């Protein structure tokens, strides 16, 4: 039986490539440069399976890739998928839930602590040769332990962040989610609160909700006005969950104390983005899951999900909107 032709649209370790080649006919790609949407579009016409990272799987691509049966996303998110178009084309989409939970939760705590304690600012202060005296009261930060944190989006990653905050840092944890998580409430000693109440009471607000039509600009001018003046926003979900213009305004007008951001409305950021000039903002390049071990595990999952489906086995890790 002829092997199914597949495409891998992002460089992954040789061991995983060899696994795919053992089961499938792998379309050659030039991984010495960034693989673009156009590169994939040009080679998708005879392909039955694909592994991608952030490539948009839209109607245009699906109309060319008429043989496609499955597209596996390396990440847990899948806002690059046009779900309706994929359903119409009969293409299964898979993702990688559960694999990056601890890694992202660790990074969220790093952003939270770095922002509260002004670590990146202090690093620049010392390395810039400005530490001239022992007393530096103007460099004091905010406490983390024993404070209140509100988590918006209580999925797997949210639970791991809650565990770290509650058990590790003795923080009072509340959360807002579209459904109650009573098991997590009991296990971790956390409480459910309406979003407005959570925003008004929290010293730290952590965004971990997926990007949907309902969560686009979930945090806007109104929401920032509800937060404490000494509160900090942490966003490790998706950039468009936050109205960035409103966030910049809230920071400039000192309606909130700071922000730790891993995601943005436009990625990479424009060079003139005001966030780049703010000392009370800690920024990272959408890399919360960025460890080699985690990335390799994500890629292994995506490859196995694709091969499994093409070989007629029961699909796993199908995105929720395509189940049933």
* The one catalytic residue among 42, 253, 267, 313: 267
Exposed / middle / buried, residue 277 (Cβ in 10 Å: 0-12, 13-18, 19+): exposed
Longest dimension (CA), the chain: 75
Q: How far apart are CA 278 and CA 239, in angstroms?
A: 18
Catalytic residue status for 217: no
User: Interior CA angle at 264 toward 124 and 31, to 5°?
Assistant: 90
Asked if residue 232 lies in contact with residue 115, where contact means CB atoms within 8 angstroms, the answer is: yes
Q: How far apart are CA 187 and CA 208, in angstroms?
A: 20
Q: Identify the pLDDT of residue 106.
A: 98
* The one catalytic residue among 117, 163, 217, 286: 286
Catalytic residue status for 238: yes
Question: Using omega within 30 degrees of 0 as the cis cutoff, is the peptide bond preceding 309 cis?
Answer: no
Q: Identify the pLDDT of residue 324.
A: 65
Catalytic residue status for 267: yes
Q: How far apart are CA 126 and CA 217, in angstroms?
A: 37
Domains of the chain by start residue, with CATH: 4-99+292-322 (3.40.50.720), 101-283 (3.40.50.720)
Q: Identify which of 176, 163, 278, 253 has the alpha carbon closest to the alpha carbon of residue 218.
A: 176
**Taking the alpha carbons of 285, 289, 142, 218 in that order, is the dihedral positive or negative?**
positive
The residues with which 281 forms a beta bridge, in sequence order, are 259
Query: Low-confidence residues of the chain, pLDDT below 50?
Result: none
Token pair listed for 50: 């694909």
* The one catalytic residue among 95, 238, 304, 308: 238
Q: Identify the pLDDT of residue 240.
A: 97
Q: Identify the pLDDT of residue 283.
A: 98
Q: Identify the pLDDT of residue 134.
A: 87
Q: How far apart are CA 155 and CA 300, in angstroms?
A: 22
**Taking the alpha carbons of 106, 154, 81, 95 in that order, is the dihedral positive or negative?**
positive
Q: Identify the pLDDT of residue 1.
A: 62
CA dihedral 67, 70, 74, 77 (to 10 degrees): 110
Over the stretch 102-139, which tens digit does the pLDDT of each residue have? 999 999 999 999 999 999 999 999 999 999 998 889 99
């Amino acid at each position: 039986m002829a092997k199914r032709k597949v495409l891998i649209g992002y460089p992954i370790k040789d061991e995983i490539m060899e696994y795919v080649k053992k089961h499938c006919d792998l379309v050659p790609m030039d991984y010495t440069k960034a693989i673009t949407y156009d590169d994939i579009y040009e080679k998708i016409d005879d392909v039955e399976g694909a592994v991608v990272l952030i490539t948009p799987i839209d109607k245009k691509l699906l109309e060319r890739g008429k043989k496609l049966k499955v597209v596996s996303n390396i990440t847990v998110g899948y806002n690059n998928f046009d779900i309706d178009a994929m359903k119409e084309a009969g293409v299964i989409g898979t993702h990688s839930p559960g694999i990056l939970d601890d890694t992202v939760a660790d990074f969220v705590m790093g952003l939270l602590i770095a922002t509260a304690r002004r670590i990146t600012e202090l690093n620049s202060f010392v390395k810039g040769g400005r530490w001239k005296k022992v007393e530096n009261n103007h460099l004091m930060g905010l406490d983390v332990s024993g404070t209140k944190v509100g988590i918006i989006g209580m999925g797997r990653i949210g639970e791991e962040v809650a565990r770290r905050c509650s058990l590790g840092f003795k923080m009072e944890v509340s959360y807002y989610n579209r459904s109650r998580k009573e098991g997590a409430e009991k296990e971790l000693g956390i409480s459910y609160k309406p979003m407005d109440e959570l925003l008004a009471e929290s010293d730290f607000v952590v965004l971990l909700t997926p990007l949907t039509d309902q969560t686009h600009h979930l945090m806007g001018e109104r929401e920032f006005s509800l937060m404490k003046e000494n509160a900090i926003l942490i966003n490790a979900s998706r950039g468009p969950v936050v109205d960035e213009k409103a966030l910049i305004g809230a920071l400039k007008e000192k309606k909130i104390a700071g922000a730790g951001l891993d995601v943005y409305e436009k990625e990479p950021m424009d060079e003139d983005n005001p966030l780049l000039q703010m000392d009370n903002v800690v920024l990272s390049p959408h890399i919360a899951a960025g460890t080699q071990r985690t990335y390799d595990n994500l890629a292994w999952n995506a490859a196995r999900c694709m091969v499994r489906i093409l070989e007629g086995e029961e699909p796993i890790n199908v995105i929720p909107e395509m189940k049933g």
